[in-house]
Structure 1
Amino acid sequence: MNRGKPMAMSHEKGFSLPELIIVVAIIGILAGIVYPSYSQYMYEVRRSDAWSGLTAAAAAQERWYSINHTYTDSIDNLGGSGSPEGYYSISVEADGSAFTLTATAITTEVQASDSGCTALTLDHFGIQAPESCWK
């Protein structure tokens, strides 16, 4: 038994500076690893907006063809020039017997930074380009 000085109670609360620096460094490292993967994932998810707009316009183009026996070169005849979520603008090129639809990322939206996949196309054969962007 200790009959000398009573044990002093520690009144220190919180974290020391080295502990805080270590925690902040770990969080920084994890954020540096996770953020680029998350950004790439979000670009891929937003491409589905282009896919939705292009397939809807292609379906409208086929309906137009079944009634008029020619493809239209007016996007207004196909339901408008925007994708459902608004990340892309849709345009059409047609010569009567063939068409190509293009979804172009709107420059003021975040999708404009999707390198290599800012313009997606779908033609009358169903060919999608660039192929690497249609995962």
Structure 2
Amino acid sequence: MKQSGFTLIEVMITVAIIGILAAIALPSYSRYVARSKVADAIGNLSNAKSGMEQFFQDNGTYLSGANCGAGTPASTDGFDFGCTATATTYSVTMTGSGSVSAYKYSIDNFGTKATLASPFGTSTTCWLISSTNC
């Protein structure tokens, strides 16, 4: 009687192939997720600037208690919000946590976009989202 099935060698080769594919795919997926979180944070910084400027137009000041004016998000996926303001100036920051902890971006009342930390370096004139932009 002939037995059918897989040999141990065949199973080990299959597991090795799956491991190699996972080793290639997982870092790529992690970078994709990080890029999407960074894009969301940058969008929220742009929205925060618009909100702060609208608040200033309506109230003549950027101050509004602890939340630093209108339109500033409390947090976004993977990023925490921070804001400092006086009556005539403000600075909004988004600081990464978890898988995006290497990123920190800011914008101020002059529209100055700054990359305070990223895997690609820092910049006082733009938001670095890759090694080729800016």
% same residue: 32
Contact 1:54/1:90, CA 8 A, preserved across alignment: no
* 8 A Cα contact 2:83 2:90, kept in partner: yes
Question: What's the counterpart of residue 77 of structure 1?
Answer: 69
The structure-2 alpha-carbon separation of the partners of 1:114 and 1:52, relative to structure 1 and needing over 3 Å to count, comes to same
Say which one has the larger Rg: 1
- The alignment status of 1:87 with 2:83, answered yes or no, reads no
Scaled by the length of structure 2, the TM-score of the pair is 0.72
How far apart, CA to CA, are the structure 2 residues paired with 1:115 and 1:66?
34
**In structure 2, what is the Cα distance between the partners aligned to 1:95 and 1:125?**
14
Answer whether contact 1:53 1:90 (CA < 8 A) is retained.
Answer: no
2:7 to 12, 16, 28: 16
Q: Which runs of 4+ in 1 moved over 3 A?
A: none
**Alpha-carbon spacing, 1:19–1:72, altered in 2? closer, same or farther (3 Å):** same
- Tell me how far apart the structure 2 counterparts of residues 69 and 98 of structure 1 sit (CA, whole Å): 11
Give the number of the structure whose residues are more often helix, by fraction.
Answer: 1
Query: Is it true that 1:116 corresponds to 2:108 in the alignment?
Result: no
Indicate whether 1:127 and 2:118 are aligned: no
| 1:32 match: secondary structure | helix
**RMSD over aligned Cα atoms:** 2.5
CA distance in structure 1 between the partners assigned to 2:37 and 2:19 by the alignment:
27
Normalised by the length of structure 1, the TM-score is 0.71
Unaligned segments of structure 2, at least 5 residues:
116-126
Aligned to 1:4: none
Aligned match of 2:59: 68
Distance 1:133 1:72 in 2: 30
Q: Which residue of 2 aligns with 1:37?
A: 28
Q: Aligned partners of 2:39 and 2:81: how far apart in 1?
A: 13
Matched, 1:104 2:89: no
Q: How many residues align?
A: 119
Which of 53, 58, 64 aligns to 2:49? It is: 58
Deviates more, 1:125-134 or 1:32-41: 125-134
Distance in 2 separating the partners of 1:129 and 1:80: 17
